Amino acid sequence: MKAITVQELAQRFSLEILAGADQVEHRQISKARPHRPGLEFVGYFDFFPQEHVQILGKKEINYLHTLSEEERNHHIGNIVKYHPPCFIVTGNQDGLKYLTKYCELEGIPLLRTGSATSEFIARLDGFLVKHLAEEISIHGVCVNVSGIGILLRGKSGVGKSETAHTLIRRGHRLVADDIVVLKKLSPQTILGTHNESTKEFLALRSIGLVNVSRLYGRKAFQEETRITLDIELTKWKDDALNNELELDEKFTDYMGVKVPHIEVQLQPGRDVAGLIEAAANNWYLRQQGYSAAEEFMKRLEFS
């Protein structure tokens, strides 16, 4: 299971450490979705997500301030005994001696940020979801064509990188070449990105490595994209039916997420980049509720 230490989180978001400084290197976070304890302060712990980061905003801190010392110690004591990875106080709130005391006793890091609660939770959740996401690496090329993330696959030497180069020259963007890292952000979402070492590089046979940002400007590259199409480049098959009407979509499964799949057969003279642009635009129209194949079949029915 992927995890991040509290120390890495503190460095990433410039968090102030109020307690448990000797534990930040050892305590790990393996769950996204930070939690704001509410019902837990009144003693209800049946569904307490104890493995999640606990966020204490103004509502939580102000509520604790209204309690007597005995009540406050009781409520805080009940929560810290579950040993969550850390507590983060937002809005630079102070008056936290009681929290500091219990966190030091239990060895739980207590951190603080000046950011507003809702803003910080959104940033933290987005970071943890990406960082802790299940991921795999595959051989291929990832491009963004008119805002649509496309994974180009095929055997080595089939022309994936050359096709990506043509797309870049037409104003589209490279995300990753050779090694594409796929991250599962949700049951419906796959994110494509690079593995840092190949960032901005495109390998072209007979030419070698080129840096697309240096060659074509920063607009030629982007860090990541949601994968919406899986396109496989294959050699031309003379006996294949290449103009079939496919009303039923085909899919490729990546970590349990089904991505629409298209096979594009290669032949000298074919404008492969143009076909990929057409596939991207056609996919977009389908998302808007229009299908050219379905309209064609309807015309046949009434002709």
Tell me the pLDDT tens digit for each residue of 164-219.
999 999 999 999 999 999 999 999 999 999 999 999 999 998 899 999 999 999 99
Confidence grade of residue 13 (pLDDT, cut at 50, 70, 90): very high
Residues taking part in catalysis: 139, 160, 178
Q: DSSP string of 149-218?
A: EEEEE-STTSSHHHHHHHHHHTT-EEEEEEEEEEEEEETTEEEEE--STTTTEEEETTTEEEEHHHHH-G
Side chain identity at 52, as an amino acid letter? Answer: H
Phi/psi at 9 (nearest 5 deg)?
-65, -40
- Nearest residue to 117 (alpha-carbon basis) of 83, 93, 100: 93
Give the pTM: 0.84
Contact between 151 and 263 (Cβ < 8 Å): no
Tokens of residue 248, six digits: 């039923």
**Which tens digits make up the pLDDT trace of 14-72?**
999 999 999 999 999 999 999 999 888 888 899 999 999 999 999 999 999 898 988 88
Residue 297 banded pLDDT, cuts 50, 70, 90? confident
Residue 108 pLDDT:
95
Cα-Cα-Cα-Cα torsion 182, 232, 154, 224, nearest 10 degrees, comes to -30
Distance CA 272, CA 292 (A): 20
